[in-house]
Structure 1
Amino acid sequence: MASITLLNEGDVEEEIFFKSGQRYDFVIKDGDQEVWRWSEGKMFTMATGTVTLEPGEKISYVERLASDNLSTGEYKLVGIVTGSPEYRESRVVLFRNK
């Protein structure tokens, strides 16, 4: 499982504008090469939307990773909130082949 969380640490509300129904994405990279993307092949509504975070409020997006086809090794996992402004966070993760 992977998650990305936004926390409004400021004193005023923050708005994130989305151009479609997609709110987040997760990408697995082997070096600079993308080897898996959660949104690949998915369709999202064309409806725009806005998420407002009050001071101290947070929002999280969680998804199961499709890592079964990956060899054992270190990969970069990138979590993306696809709004405007866009937020990205990445971590090096170790996948172990079962």
Structure 2
Amino acid sequence: MALQSSVDATVESDRVVFEYTVENVGDAPEEVQFRSSLLADFAVVADGEEVWRASDDQMFAQMIQTERIDADDGETFAEAWDDPAPGDYTVVATLNATGDDAEARTDFSV
């Protein structure tokens, strides 16, 4: 797969907003097959321990779905972490797809 990904964390007064972008940097379209209605997930880690995950305590439809990402195009997924405690963190964003999962991470402070 010719997918490249990045994640941004924007700290606001009462939350952190994450934007995870997956881009097709290849010359041909890519077919991405998702495992469920959860297309992307975000986990926040501090000192090697997971402190928050966007998909925790949620249910997702169990279905296989395919999405085409054209060459030089991409998809962006967003999520927000409400009321985070002050500290230094890393967000890890993953694509919930079969095959090679695209993963991105970035550090941020609250």
Q: Same fold (TM over 0.5)?
A: yes
Match of 1:9 in 2: 25
Query: Over residues 22-71 of structure 1, what are the superposed CA-to-partner deviations in whole Å (9 max), with x where a residue is unaligned?
Result: 101110001210000000010000111011111111100011113x142x
| Cα RMSD, aligned residues only | 1.0
Alignment check: 8 A CA contact 1:7 1:58 kept: yes
TM-score, normalised on structure 2?
Answer: 0.80
In structure 1, what is the equivalent of residue 106 of structure 2?
Answer: 91
- CA shift, 1:4, in A, is 0.6
> Which letter maps to 1:4?
Y
Task: Calculate percent identity across the aligned residue pairs.
Answer: 25
Gaps of 5+ in 1: none
Q: In the alignment, which of 83, 88, 103 is matched to residue 74 of structure 1?
A: 88
| Structure 1 runs (4+) greater than 6 angstroms displaced | none
Alignment gaps of 5+ in structure 2: 1-16
